Structure 1
């Protein structure tokens, strides 16, 4: 699904299974694997081993060219899409479930953010990513899928990761930033409450004619503390590609002014700030204050422990590259 230029794997425009189905009973063999790869440029580009599932209880195989795994559960409708006659590929929900057993909770969470975001990790592209027109899946579809697939292996891990993942991220760095900011303290995050990511927000165009309205999409919008009279706080991630040009700087300035006119403060994070642990600690405290969060009374020992956990999460996210 990351091979964006291959029309054979553009699952959004291809037929899906309309009814609940079972995996084929016949397990993979060397001849079938060879013929499938020869007949599909998409499979050749994906590389070996070719991973397949079978409903045959004795169909488990592990060979250099292919892997055949036993899958006894039913496959919910819409979970696989047709590449060509006789060849079906896992959709995003089933793929996430199949990977759940081999990834850590944080790795699976990052992968779900990509699937529910508008980007794709693509090492061959500039910047190591490519933009998608729309997400591969969303929280509602994943929730329905989990309910229909039942308690199969990996479903519990996927359910836990789904509760931590966020939708509508537009880049890998946005994903890592929002997880650092919004994962709960128990998961080593700063515990801010996310209101939205990259959602349209109507603003007044400053300097334009009366009642001229426009749309802005803050990267990360932090919700104000419930019951406070504070406003949301916007946090923007400045990627090096589009924010360093004259046009990019002007656009950032205008957007910030328009949000400020609505009472929404804006903070900016770039790669250097993201890596600066002390600066991030300070920035989050200012965001908490502006968003009306209650003042925390922590001992020096507790504050040091929390900072160590923030550093641990930062390092764990740094180790997560392409995820799979």
Structure 2
């Protein structure tokens, strides 16, 4: 019996596996047809062989069923009803497990998460990192999906639960974040006042700045990457991660890269987790960035500060200090 997996279990799976498990459009179409047949079976899903399950999936495994009477809640399996599957929404994970795609998982999680957490998840799925169980992260070679792909999938899923919230979250999401703290920093700076952000113009994430051939003699590289970059304002903002503090080679490379950006005329600002966690320090940082980018801040206190601190605490609550 095929088992269709979704929600938190699908998210845990995609945080555990590599890009090779995404499969192409034809394979997704075949897997979705299999999954639709599995949802039509008049039998409650259950795990076999000592609760054997896909990579990353803890217990209970969250499954999808076609009817309310087939829902189950045991130590091994819990389920939700999803009678009609969106096109190409399922991927064959092998061994009889049919996995919700990253796009379908995002739509499902819109019914579980707050708007801020959903935006944060969107950045992760469209970025080059994955959050793991202890709140730390691991690097990905490429994103699982993109804002464009997510939006197309959600828009095509008419009348699906969570669709309205998912589309709203996508309005604020960006491609290219390389770490959870880059995501937090971007959200705190750029979300609108009503959501607790400072409403600053969105930067380019991990933006490539090419070194002109005329400057190659004074640099050691052909280009530089900047965490958050406002190219027109010639401003780069970098998150100073503790993850690399003990790596002298990485520190040396970062130092040379930042020096190169300064030579190219960019203003460099470096942000620590301490600055993000300190309300007063972050407020000063936001004002400095606003000046550099030509943004006039017009928030009203004390209401805005309460919203901002609530947003900060929500975004940081599950992230490990080592980031």
TM-score range, shorter chain: 0.7 to 0.9
Partner of residue 109, structure 1: 119
The RMSD of aligned alpha carbons is 3.1
- Is the Cα–Cα contact under 8 Å of residues 194 and 307 in structure 2 kept in the other structure? no
In the alignment, is residue 33 of structure 1 matched against residue 43 of structure 2? no
Partner of residue 156, structure 2: 148
Partner of residue 262, structure 1: 264
1:34–1:245 CA distance, 2 compared to 1 (3 A): closer
Partner of residue 82, structure 1: 92
- Is the Cα–Cα contact under 8 Å of residues 97 and 158 in structure 1 kept in the other structure? yes
Equivalents in 2 of 1:193, 1:36: separation in Å? 53
Equivalents in 1 of 2:110, 2:43: separation in Å? 22
Cα distance, 1:304 vs structure 2: 4.3
Which structure is higher in helix share? Answer: 2
Equivalents in 1 of 2:226, 2:150: separation in Å? 25
- Is the Cα–Cα contact under 8 Å of residues 219 and 260 in structure 2 kept in the other structure? no
In the alignment, is residue 209 of structure 1 matched against residue 207 of structure 2? no
Structure 1 residue ranges without an equivalent (≥5): 225-230
1:31-84: per-residue Cα shift (whole Å, max 9, x none)? x513276554x26x512222222233543333332123221233212x211112
Matches for 1:231-270 after TM superposition, within 5 Å: 231-243=233-245, 245-270=247-272
Partner of residue 53, structure 1: 64
Cα distance, 1:85 vs structure 2: 5.2
Cα distance, 1:187 vs structure 2: 0.8
TM-score when scaled to structure 2? 0.82
Report the count of equivalent residues: 305
- Is the Cα–Cα contact under 8 Å of residues 27 and 53 in structure 1 kept in the other structure? no
1:92-117: per-residue Cα shift (whole Å, max 9, x none)? 11111122112111111111111111
Partner of residue 95, structure 1: 105
Partner of residue 63, structure 1: 74
Query: 2:165 aligns to what SS in structure 1?
Result: helix
- Is the Cα–Cα contact under 8 Å of residues 118 and 135 in structure 1 kept in the other structure? yes
Equivalents in 1 of 2:91, 2:18: separation in Å? 10
